[in-house]
Structure 1
Amino acid sequence: MLRRLYDWALDLSARPLAPLWLFLVAMAEASIFPLPPDVLLIPMALAKPRRALLFAAIATLGSVLGGAIGYALGYALFVKLAQPIIHFYHYDAAFAAFQQKFATYGAAIILVKGLTPIPYKIVTIAAGAAKFNFWLFMGLSLITRGVRFFLEAILLRLFGDPARVFIEKRLGLLTALFAIILVGGFLILKFA
């Protein structure tokens, strides 16, 4: 199923309405959809490197808006709607553990998880279910999703297809390093 979705996304990236599809996929991925917007962003940025930053902005805005939808699912409709989505993706145990830590480490979790390949919908629904401050959540989402998509777009614009291979092979490592730096910065601010 995921392979068909991936092939579908690659086909969309070559169409004239690709920017709209990128926005919609980014929005849906942040709330209910299993396919990350990177599968559209990467081929679009490679095909039109001069528009890579625009594509990153579109993905960021779509993802942040989708994050607000995921937050609303978690906040208002957790039992009726969000819980079945979490169960569908077999994230029940992960979500329970995540929710416990959210109350204490919510801001850091949003920033770190928003950068990683872990489905962002878990973060958005958890933020709503935990009733995390909505405006802080939106600001943090804008930062973390923007960093992720703009970093990809800049690398693709500067280095082209070799950057795509590098990103696909080492995205987890790159985001982990950035997350360590980010958390280290928070710890320095907190304890300095």
Structure 2
Amino acid sequence: MIKRLYEWTMSLAARPRAEIWLAIVAFVESSFFLIPADVLFVPMALARPRRAYRLALIATVFSTLGGIAGYALGYYAFDILAKPVLAFYGKLGAFDALQACVQGDQQLLLILLTTSGLAHLPPIKVVTILAGAVHIGLVFFVLSCIIARGARFFALAFLLRRYGEAIRHFIERRLKVIAVVAAAALILLYFGLKLVAGSGQLLSC
């Protein structure tokens, strides 16, 4: 199922209204869609490199709007809508664990918003719903989405414009691994600093 969904998403890049599809996928990936917008963004930017930054802007704007929708699900309709979505994807346990970690800890939530926006770690849909469920400030949330997700899409646009098809394999295979490792290192560093500071919170999550 996931492979078919992935292939279908990639096929959207060749359609006449591919930019609209990019906006839709960027929007829904933030709250319930399984496939990240990068899958559509990369072939579109390669096909029309002069539009790479325009595509990055579209993806950033609609990913942020989708993030706001996910935030609203967590804030206003967690039990009715968000919880069933998380359960469907098998992410409810991960959500509960993260929620226990971030209660009263906005610094950790900011790190998670950053790492999810840059590297999908933890998954974007989990963190956006979590942000609404714990009622963090909407302005704070929106700014973090714009910065983290914008950094991801515009960095991809720069690489694809500069190096073209030659960089595609690196982006699809290795860049994600590097981003995930960097995100994991940032999270571990945060907990390590808390331990050194004597908070005793390292193992609480």
Asked if TM exceeds 0.5, the reply is: yes
Aligned length: 187
The runs of at least 4 aligned residues of structure 1 exceeding 4 Å deviation read: 178-185
Is structure 2 residue 137 aligned with structure 1 residue 149? no
Displacement of 1:126: 0.5
* One-letter identity of the residue aligned with 1:174: A
The structure having more radius of gyration, on CA atoms, is 2
Q: Compute the displacement of 1:177 (Å).
A: 3.0
Distance 1:101-1:146 versus aligned 2 partners, 3 A rule = same
What residue number does 2:182 align with? 177
What is the alpha-carbon distance in structure 2 between the residues aligned to residue 50 and residue 102 of structure 1? 41
Alignment of 1:107-118 (within 5 A): 107-118=110-121
The answer to whether the aligner puts 1:166 opposite 2:164 as a matched pair is no
Greater mean deviation of Cα atoms: 157-166 or 79-88 = 157-166
Partner of 2:140: 136
Structure 2 gaps, min length 5 = 198-205
Which TM-score applies when normalising by structure 2? Answer: 0.84
Q: CA deviation at 1:94?
A: 0.8
Q: Gapped runs of 5+ residues in structure 1?
A: none
Distance 2:161 2:188 in 1: 28
- Please tell me the root mean square deviation across aligned C-alpha atoms, in Å: 2.1
* C-alpha separation in 2, matches of 1:54 and 1:180: 31
Asked if 1 retains the 8 angstrom alpha-carbon contact of 2:119 and 2:183, the reply is no
1:121 is the counterpart of 2:125: yes
- TM-score of the aligned structures, taking structure 1 as reference length: 0.90
Task: Give percent identity, aligned residues only.
Answer: 44
Q: How do 1:39-118 and structure 2 match up within 5 A?
A: 39-103=39-103, 104=105, 105-118=108-121
| Superposed displacement of residue 23, structure 1 | 0.5
SS at match of 2:118: coil
